[in-house]
Amino acid sequence: MKPKKTHPYYTRKIEPAQIRKNMTAAQLIDECFTAFNARNFRNACRLFVDRILSEDTTIGLSVSGALTPAGLGRSCLVPLIQSGYVDWIVSTGANLYHDMHASLGYAMYEGSPTVDDRELRKNEVIRIHDIFFKADALYDTDRFIRDLFRSIPFPQPVSSAEVHSILGKELLTRWPDSHNYSVLAAAAKMDVPVHTSSPGDSSIGMNLAGLALEGKGPRIDPSLDVNLTAAWVYHAKKNKGRTAAVILGGGSPKNFLLQTEPQIQEVMGLKEAGQDYFIQFTDARVDTGGLSGATPSEAVTWGKIDPAMLPHSLVCYGDCSVYLPLFTAYALSAGVKRKPRRLWNTWRERLEYLEKAYRRSPLWGN
């Protein structure tokens, strides 16, 4: 009897395992996430582990939303950085500012979003939806930033990554174990550059603006960040490597990470095809114009993603506070050994590499 042919549209039978005691997060995802957003998330986890981590891929991570106040910096981002699974970062300044509170002795607390905010204000309690913390955390963190940067001379403008490296190293100096709970400290220890796309749009930038009125502190040059992030991508691609964009939320950090390819191709006139891999976790909708850079297929039209690699681009619709812990658990359980790239140690060389290529471009000087 001839075996029955399988219809080409049928790829894998939906036959999940029964959920059992002591099931790991990876087993749950692999065996039970079979359809809809669950399957898409499973595919994103496998793409990250099987291809992105296993190949010579430079991984950029963008971070928006209040992830560090929610504890996702400590629980997820720090372990990913320590494992060498993140090579460079673009974050909102707010995430990096709130990342420093714990080192200064301030905790975040579970609270209720239905509490009268007038009462909270009267009692000097700050609220981020259902996260509460003391207002003193703001004042002491402000003081920490101002005191640090008042003491350092800055003869020329610097990138936001330089500012964040200084902050991270100071955390490590004062609190040697801070790399186990602080994104800035972990990134500084692993030489992971941390950029922000809007240097003035956070309390870090606000404090630096205050220092500027005193004639002190650093002056951030956003052009340095634009060119440095492009340099991370260009050097990787021109040295037989691949690049990946892992995007948490959307907003300005997402665009700043993805604009590296238009900077290389459109502005500098250098031959390139786009990012190789793309994973995004978002609850935004594309039809309202709120998806911050839109879908991977739309990004192809801008040169942000290599058209040939579009099948390896995934958007998982849902809440980062749910997806990111599962994603991190899956990635760490795979145990992929990956040598840290320590990009921050190479920033001058990689920027020079990009500039030399641009000097040979027909757009140089035009």
Catalogue the active-site residues: 304
269 is written with which tokens?
Answer: 């006139």
The full DSSP string for 233-277 is HHHHHHTT-EEEEEEES-HHHHHHHHTHHHIIIIIT------BSE
Would you say 214 and 99 are in contact if contact means Cβ atoms under 8 Å apart?
no
Residue ranges in 52-201 assigned as alpha helix (H) = 72, 78-82, 93-99, 117-122, 136-150, 160-174, 183-189
For residue 187, what are the CA distances in angstroms to 103, 164, 250, 281, 341? Answer: 15, 9, 21, 22, 12
Contact partners, residue 221, CB within 8 Å, separation at least 6: 157, 158, 159
Distance CA 69, CA 109 (A): 9
Side-chain half-sphere CA neighbours of 102 within 13 A: 21
Distance CA 291, CA 279 (A): 14
For residue 156, what are the CA distances in angstroms to 195, 203, 221, 339? Answer: 18, 22, 9, 33
The secondary structure of residue 319, as a DSSP letter, is -
